[in-house]
Amino acid sequence: MTEPRYLTDSTARQFEATVERALDDRVVLDATLFYPEGGGQPADQGTLTTDDGRWRVVDVQKNDTVYHELDPVGETEGLPAVGTTVTGDLDWERRHAHMRYHTAQHLLSALLLTEFDAPTVGNQLTTEYARLDAGYDRFTDEDLARIESRMNDLVAEERPVEWYTMDRAEAEASLDPERTRIDLLPASIDELRIVEVGGPTGGSGDDDVYDRTACAGTHVANTAEVGDVTVTGRATQGSGKERVTFELE
């Protein structure tokens, strides 16, 4: 199994790993920082380099384990051999944009639930914009202005964002089921990764925690890193479902 270092370290951009399997145009490594597409967050891209070759990582998918799809650069042919040590470098601009958008999406999900009683039912982010689908009848222009203003408040409050694992039974007993949606996770998952948006910097502590959600994506460590949020629009997605789109500066 590949050690998923993208789950623990959101600041590292480079890593070394050993090729465990090579098949067609894909390799499996013993560890990786490359995030595999999932949860509305696109796959990371970047490069793998060895002493005598270089490959672009064009896609990363997780099935039984994490597969890196490679495209040889220049004179390089084939794939790095099994047992070879490779250096992986993330396309950091892309990843960091995904982390900012993903964190902003947590803020939006939490505030729509708290202030509009609108649960998130879907989301997709890119490096340029993000959209979120929520169970709600119709957001007015005033609603959208309020949502934008509240998201920017949460950014300005410089709230810490932390992630940790929690036993599923403990999570089910102690977390708000409407937020964490543990019921949607496969029964085989017995340990959850919780992402927590904390209280404002200078606040009074645990009572100020804004959101706790089960999530396996990548996030920035403080809401300040999200930057200015602009809500760019809404559209109906059928009865009782609204899509909100937003962009970050």
Minimum distance between the CB of residue 215 and Zn ion, rounded to whole angstroms?
A: 3
* Residue placing its CB nearer to Zn ion in the complex, 66 or 79: 66
Please, are residues 233 and 246 in contact by the beta-carbon 8 Å criterion? no
Q: Which residues contact 149 (CB under 8 A, 6 or more apart)?
A: none
Report the chain's C-alpha Rg in angstroms.
20
What residues make contact with Zn ion under the rule CB under 5 A? 102, 215, 217
Residue whose C-beta lies closest to Zn ion = 215
* Residue placing its CB nearer to Zn ion in the complex, 70 or 107: 107
Minimum distance between the CB of residue 217 and Zn ion, rounded to whole angstroms?
A: 4
Minimum distance between the CB of residue 92 and Zn ion, rounded to whole angstroms?
A: 19
* Residue placing its CB nearer to Zn ion in the complex, 53 or 198: 198
Instruction: Write the CA distances from 142 to 13, 31, 105, 139, integer angstroms.
Output: 41, 47, 20, 8
Minimum distance between the CB of residue 22 and Zn ion, rounded to whole angstroms?
A: 31
Minimum distance between the CB of residue 219 and Zn ion, rounded to whole angstroms?
A: 6
* Residue placing its CB nearer to Zn ion in the complex, 48 or 118: 118
Q: Which residues contact 180 (CB under 8 A, 6 or more apart)?
A: 171, 192, 194, 212, 213, 214
* Residue placing its CB nearer to Zn ion in the complex, 46 or 217: 217
- Rounded CA-CA distance 225/222 in Å is 6
Tokens linked to 195: 């992402």
